[in-house]
Amino acid sequence: MVTSIRIAGAALVAALACASTPSFAGGTADTFDKVVDERGAPVTDFRGNCVRTKWEASNGGCAAASDLSTDDRTIYFDFDQSALNADALNKLDALAATALSDGTVLSAKIVGFADNMGEDSYNMALSKKRAAAVRDYLTSKGLNSEVVKARAVGERASKTECTGSRDEQIACLWQDRKVEVELEFEAK
């Protein structure tokens, strides 16, 4: 029974794909790696990722910034710090280079976070400083400041649960000391 449902589901997906207007860019699925609409623009899924006909091909007109992983877009900070460390600078340089080379950035949403150690008000201020540091660095690299929006959530989104000594908690909570960057862009 499970097999027949999977087959029926796959048939439905295939039928819907054939009924849509997008076509392969100039050829067959065997020779091209992106699907384009009637205007020649890359077709994207609900997450904004390019619809591809084969995964091993080059980006083929789909901007590589759409392929950035969450880790590529997450900047981590040292405990009780808002200064960008060497790892953060390297990651931001790569992020800016990818975004600027692949198209016009329509929006950049920057969200600052803090771990749950300390007072709420202090953590909110710290996460604002972290978001501002990332915003300022990205705009210094050429992102249009008019499309960059920074906000902070403080420790409200802290997800890591840690126990132990203060030093053990500081080491454990590293994933909550971050800024996440989400880019929306128009491919060239």
What are the residue ranges spanned by the domains of the chain?
A: 2-61, 66-187
What is the architecture, at CATH level 2, of domain 66-187? 2-Layer Sandwich (3.30)
Q: Pick the more confident residue, 30 or 163.
A: 163
Is the pLDDT score of 14 beyond 60? no
- Determine whether 3 is exposed, middle or buried from the number of CB atoms within 10 Å of its CB (0-12, 13-18, 19+): exposed
- Region 50-63 average pLDDT: 47
Q: What pLDDT does 54 receive?
A: 44
Q: Region 169-179: what's the mean pLDDT?
A: 94
User: What confidence category does residue 39 fall into, taking pLDDT thresholds of 50, 70 and 90?
Assistant: low
Mean pLDDT of 96-111: 82
Strands 148-154, 23-24: parallel, antiparallel or unpaired by DSSP?
unpaired
Would you say 42 and 187 are in contact if contact means Cβ atoms under 8 Å apart? yes
pLDDT, average across residues 156-172 = 91
Q: What is residue 107's predicted lDDT score, i.e. its pLDDT?
A: 85
The residue with greater pLDDT, 81 or 185, is 81
Q: What is the mean pLDDT of residues 2-15?
A: 40
Q: What is the pLDDT of residue 11?
A: 41
pLDDT(25) > 80: no
> For the whole model, what pTM was predicted?
0.65
